[in-house]
Chains A and B, each alone.
Chain A
Amino acid sequence: EPEVTQTPSHQVTQMGQEVILRCVPISNHLYFYWYRQILGQKVEFLVSFYNNEISEKSEIFDDQFSVERPDGSNFTLKIRSTKLEDSAMYFCASRTDYTGSPLHFGNGTRLTVT
């Protein structure tokens, strides 16, 4: 069964550094998402992306965050200048284009900001 893959599985960075989290969504999927889960808290929506543009974003997704689909397969989340509170598990997800199609999640990237 096709799956969403995320790299790296764990990323450690220093505060103020830029990080790029990478995702390869399922190949015939058209909608892409980033969610995050701070340790001990809920999984939270960050952003959705369709047709090469952001379709929705949460209040968490401020100017420090950006997303990109640089080629036909990758979907990236960039954090420009990381803060301690950005430490979390970041999940990428994708889905097909019919209403209510379920999200397929990757295994996540654990980001640790020191």
Chain B
Amino acid sequence: AQSVTQPDIHITVSEGASLELRCNYSYGATPYLFWYVQSPGQGLQLLLKYFSGDTLVQGIKGFEAEFKRSQSSFNLRKPSVHWSDAAEYFCAVGAGSGYSTLTFGKGTMLLVSP
């Protein structure tokens, strides 16, 4: 069965600093990988997805993620964090029909300090 590990429960980053959120997955085939963000009281918003091709994928809000098969990782990055990026971030792997049955990680809460 597939699984996703997000090793950091909380991360605090200064505004303007760079960000990297870690995600490791376990899946028996080529994974479909996603990053979602959840602001307080909101639903899950898709940041970006990886299916195949270029291993560096660009998403919304200036985020990018790099798929590294050898490390089973799909880390999320942003070169300069804004205060509005404070939220919880979820990595997910897709399986099942249409690769849309998502298995989520536990999430990483991003705090942005002034």
Q: What residues of chain A have their CB less than 8 Å away from a CB belonging to chain B?
A: 4, 6, 31, 33, 35, 41-45, 48, 50, 55-56, 91, 93, 95, 97-108
Contact = CB atoms under 8 A, between A and B. Distances in A.
A41 B96 CA distance: 22
B43 A41 contact: no
Q: Counting chain B CB atoms within 10 Å of each CB, which of A31, A41, A42 scores highest? A: A42
Interface of A is mostly: strand
B100 A43 contact: no
Contacts, number: 66
A17 B113 CA distance: 44
Given A33-B100, A100-B99, A103-B46, A41 B106 contact: yes
B101 A42 contact: no
B75 interface: no
Nearest to A58: B101
A75 to B, nearest CB: 15
Interface of B: 32, 34, 36, 41-46, 49, 51, 90, 92, 94, 96-107
Given A42-B105, A100-B51, A100-B94, A91 B100 contact: no
Contact of B43 (A44, A100, A105): A105
A93 B101 CA distance: 11
A51 to B, nearest CB: 11
22 contacts: A41-B106, A42-B104, A43-B104, A44-B104, A48-B97, A48-B100, A56-B97, A91-B44, A93-B44, A95-B98, A97-B98, A98-B98, A100-B32, A100-B98, A101-B100, A102-B46, A102-B100, A103-B46, A103-B102, A104-B46, A105-B43, A107-B41
